[in-house]
Amino acid sequence: MNWALHTAGAICDDASIEIREDPHTMRSAMRPLMKRFLLLALMACAVTGAVRAANVGDVPIISKLDVAGLKEGRHHFYLNAGRGATGLPNLVPVIVMKGAGEGKQLLLTAAVHGDELNGIRVIHRLMDELDASKLTGTIVAVPGVNQAGMEVHSRYFGLRGGDPNRAFPGSEKRGEAEARFAYHLWHNLVLPGTDLAVDLHTQTTGTSYPLFVFADFRNATARDMAYSLHPDMIKNDPGEEGTLETSLIKKGIPAVTFEIGGPKEFEARMIDRALAGLENFLNSQGFLSDGARPAREQPIVGTNFTNVYADEGGLAVIEVGLKDHVKKGTRIATLYDPFGQPLRHYYAPVSGAVVAIATDPVRDAGSMLVRILH
Question: In the complex, which residues of this chain contact Zn ion (CB under 5 A)?
Answer: 113, 116, 201
Give the residue at shortest CB distance from Zn ion: 201
CA angle 196, 80, 110 (to 5 degrees): 40
Beta bridge partners of 110: 143, 200
Phi-psi region of 68 (alpha: psi -120 to 50; beta: other; left: phi over 0): alpha
C-alpha pair distances (Å), 112 with each of 125, 145, 364: 19, 5, 25
> 261 or 277: whose CB is closer to Zn ion?
261
**How many whole angstroms from its chain centre is CA 196?**
13
Closest distance between Zn ion and the C-beta of residue 165, in Å? 6
Closest distance between Zn ion and the C-beta of residue 239, in Å? 13
What one-letter code names the amino acid at 175?
A: G
What one-letter code names the amino acid at 129?
A: E
Closest distance between Zn ion and the C-beta of residue 263, in Å? 8
Closest distance between Zn ion and the C-beta of residue 191, in Å? 21
> 66 or 360: whose CB is closer to Zn ion?
360
> 212 or 227: whose CB is closer to Zn ion?
212
Q: Where are the beta strands (DSSP E) in 227-285?
A: 233-236, 255-260
Closest distance between Zn ion and the C-beta of residue 248, in Å? 15
> 155 or 184: whose CB is closer to Zn ion?
155
Q: Cα separation of 235 and 257, whole Å? A: 10
> 116 or 267: whose CB is closer to Zn ion?
116
H or E element that contains 33: helix 30-48
Q: Cα separation of 258 and 276, whole Å? A: 13
> 113 or 180: whose CB is closer to Zn ion?
113
Phi-psi region of 261 (alpha: psi -120 to 50; beta: other; left: phi over 0): left
For 128, the 3-state DSSP assignment is helix
> 99 or 262: whose CB is closer to Zn ion?
262
Closest distance between Zn ion and the C-beta of residue 250, in Å? 19
Closest distance between Zn ion and the C-beta of residue 116, in Å? 5
